[in-house]
Copies of this chain bind each other. A is one copy, B any other.
Amino acid sequence: MKPSSSQSEQSFPAGQPFPHGLLDAIDTDARTDAAVDDRALLAAMLRVEAAMARAAARAGVVPDEAADAIADTCRPERFDIGDLGRRAVSTGAPVAALVADIGVLLPDYAKPWVHFGATTQDVVDTALMLLARDALDVVTERLVAAAGHCASLASEHRDTLQVARTLGQQALPSTFGAKAAGWLAALDDALAGLTGVRDGRLAVQFGGAAGTLAPLGEHGVEVLGLLAEQLGLAEPTLPWHTARGRVHELAGALGTALAALGKIATDVVFCAGTEVAELAEPEGSGGSSAMPHKQNPIRSALTIAAARRSPGLVGTLLSAGLAENERAAGSWHAEWQPLRELLRLAGGAAARAEEVLGGLRVYPQAMRRNLELTGGLLMAESVTTRLAGPLGRQRAHELVTEACRRAVAEGSGLRAVLLADPSVREHLSTADIDAALDPSGYLGSAGRFVDRALAAHPGKA
C-alpha cells in the first residue's frame, strides 16, 4: 500500500488529459471517459465513504470529528489506482484495500469509523450509480444537441425530396425532412427513457454485510436517507444487493439510445455511399491516405460499432440478474465493466452523432437525381391512384402494372408508355400524367409528420 502524495501526483498530472489507450478514444469521447474512468471510479468510491461517515455522524452514530477526518482524507490524489487495483484481486473488489489505505491516513480516533456498517457492495454500487449519473449527464446533453440538429435538418429539409427505400430498393418519394424527423423522434424518445432512469432510478446502495444495517442498530434507515440526500441519489425502499432492476433499467435505456444512434449512423453510411452520395459527414475526418477520393463516414461507422456492442453488454447485465441469496457469487462482479463500457459507448456514440448531425452535408440535387433513376416507375402507385377514380382500383392497377412492365422492357420510361397508351389517355391528359409522375405531388403526410415531430420535440421553444 502506497498512498503517498508523490505517487498520486504522477497518476494525476495536473491539467493534463488522461493518457488514452490505443483503442479507447475510438470508442468514447474525453468527457464521457472522464466521467467513468478509473479516476472517476476512485473519486466516487471516496465520495461514498465520506458521505457514509457524514450521514452516520448526522444521525449520531459516528463522532463528528471522525466523520470530518474521514471526509478530509477521502481525496483521490492521496491514493494510488494501480496499487489498489493489484490488491483488489484477493478480495475481488478494490474496496478493502481502499479502506485500509484510508485507515492508514486517518488519526486513531477516526480509524474505527471509516466504512462503518458498510459492505464492499455498498461502496461499489453507489459509486457506479454516481458514475452513471455523471455519464448520463454528458450523454443526455449530447443527445439534446444531436436532437436539436435533427430538428434543424427536419425543418430545413421539410420539403426536400428524397426517395424512401425499403429492403434496399427505392420505394416511393418522400423527403429528407421526414427521415430527419424520424431520427428526431427516436432521439427524443431515447432521451425521455434516459432521463427517467437518471432522475428516478439511480439510487444509493446501503445495506451492510447482510442487508440489515445491523451495526447501525436503530439508525440504519435514518442513515440510509441521509446518505441518499448527501449524494443526491434516490433512497431505495430497501437494499438492492441482489435486486438488480435498477441496473437493468439503466442498461435498457442505454441500449435503446445506442440503437437509435446506430440507426441514424446506418442511414448516414448508406446515404454517404459512392453510388448514393446524398449525404456526407462533415469534413475533418475519415480521409484515406491511400485513396484520395474517399471520405470514409468514420464517425458513423464508429457509432455503428458502439451500437453493435451494446446488445451483448445489455444481455450480460440482464443475465447477471440471476443473483442468489443476499450477495451473488460472480453475477454482481460481472456487472461492473459491462456497465461502464455501456456508458462509455453511449457517450462516444452521442458525441459522434452530435458532430455528424451538426455538420451533416446534404445534397438535394443528388437526392433528386436518384429519385429519377427508375424513370418514373416509382410513381406507379401515384398513377394508379389517379386512374382509380374513373376506372376503379382493380382496373387501374392492372393498367399501370402493364405499363410498368412495358416501360422496363422497352427501357423507355413510364411517362412515354403512359402517353402512348390509349386506355390511359382516355382518362388522363399530358398534364395529368405529368402531375401523377411528379414526386412532389405524391408525398402524402410527409410534411405533416415532420411538423408533428417538431411540435413534439421538447427543445423546440
What residues of chain B lie closer than 8 Å to A182, measured between beta carbons? 211, 238-240, 242-243
Nearest-CB distance from A60 to chain B (Å)? 14
Within 8 A of B (CB), among A95-128: 96, 99, 108, 111-113, 119
**A174 B245 Cβ-Cβ under 8 A:** no
Report the bound CA distance from A23 to B338 in whole Å: 12
Q: Whose C-beta in chain B lies nearest to the C-beta of A98? A: B22
**A92 and B296 contact, Cβ closer than 8 Å, known pairs A318-B259, A444-B214:** yes
Q: Whose C-beta in chain B lies nearest to the C-beta of A439? A: B214
**B172 A291 Cβ-Cβ under 8 A:** yes
**A309 and B321 contact, Cβ closer than 8 Å, known pairs A168-B270, A214-B382, A456-B237:** no
**A171 B291 Cβ-Cβ under 8 A:** yes
Q: Which of A140-148, A216-224, A357-365, A417-425 contacts B (4 or more CB under 8 A)?
A: A216-224
Report the bound CA distance from A197 to B204 in whole Å: 25
Nearest-CB distance from A435 to chain B (Å)? 13
Copies of this chain in the oligomer: 4
Nearest-CB distance from A119 to chain B (Å)? 7
Cross-chain contact of A245 among B189, B244, B270, B304 (Cβ < 8 A): B189
Tell yes or no: A185 within 8 A of B by CB. yes
Tell yes or no: A202 within 8 A of B by CB. no
Most buried by B among A211, A284, A325, A397: A325
Q: Which of A49-57, A67-75, A426-434, A445-453 contacts B (4 or more CB under 8 A)?
A: A445-453
**A321 B291 Cβ-Cβ under 8 A:** no
Report the bound CA distance from A315 to B316 in whole Å: 9
What residues of chain B lie closer than 8 Å to A292, measured between beta carbons? 377, 380, 400-401, 404-405
Tell yes or no: A312 within 8 A of B by CB. yes
**B21 A81 Cβ-Cβ under 8 A:** yes
**A96 B242 Cβ-Cβ under 8 A:** no
Within 8 A of B (CB), among A152-173: 163-173
Tell yes or no: A231 within 8 A of B by CB. no
Within 8 A of B (CB), among A206-249: 208-217, 220-221, 224, 236-240, 242-246, 248-249
Report the bound CA distance from A298 to B305 in whole Å: 25
What residues of chain B lie closer than 8 Å to A84, measured between beta carbons? 22
What is the 8 Å Cβ interface bit string for chain A, positions 165-198, against chain B (1 contact, 0 not)?
1111111111000110111011001100100000
Cross-chain contact of A167 among B99, B244, B269, B381 (Cβ < 8 A): B269
Tell yes or no: A137 within 8 A of B by CB. no
Tell yes or no: A287 within 8 A of B by CB. yes
Report the bound CA distance from A331 to B170 in whole Å: 18
What residues of chain B lie closer than 8 Å to A251, measured between beta carbons? 252
**A449 and B237 contact, Cβ closer than 8 Å, known pairs A85-B25, A330-B301:** yes
Q: Whose C-beta in chain B lies nearest to the C-beta of A219? A: B445
Tell yes or no: A32 within 8 A of B by CB. no
Q: Whose C-beta in chain B lies nearest to the C-beta of A24? A: B85
What residues of chain B lie closer than 8 Å to A307, measured between beta carbons? 321-322, 330
**A269 B168 Cβ-Cβ under 8 A:** yes
What residues of chain B lie closer than 8 Å to A291, measured between beta carbons? 169, 171-172, 209, 378, 380-381
Q: List 18 A-B contacts (CB under 8 A).
A: A22-B41, A27-B337, A90-B298, A91-B286, A91-B296, A167-B301, A168-B325, A169-B272, A185-B236, A189-B246, A212-B446, A216-B444, A245-B260, A259-B322, A267-B324, A301-B330, A307-B330, A319-B319
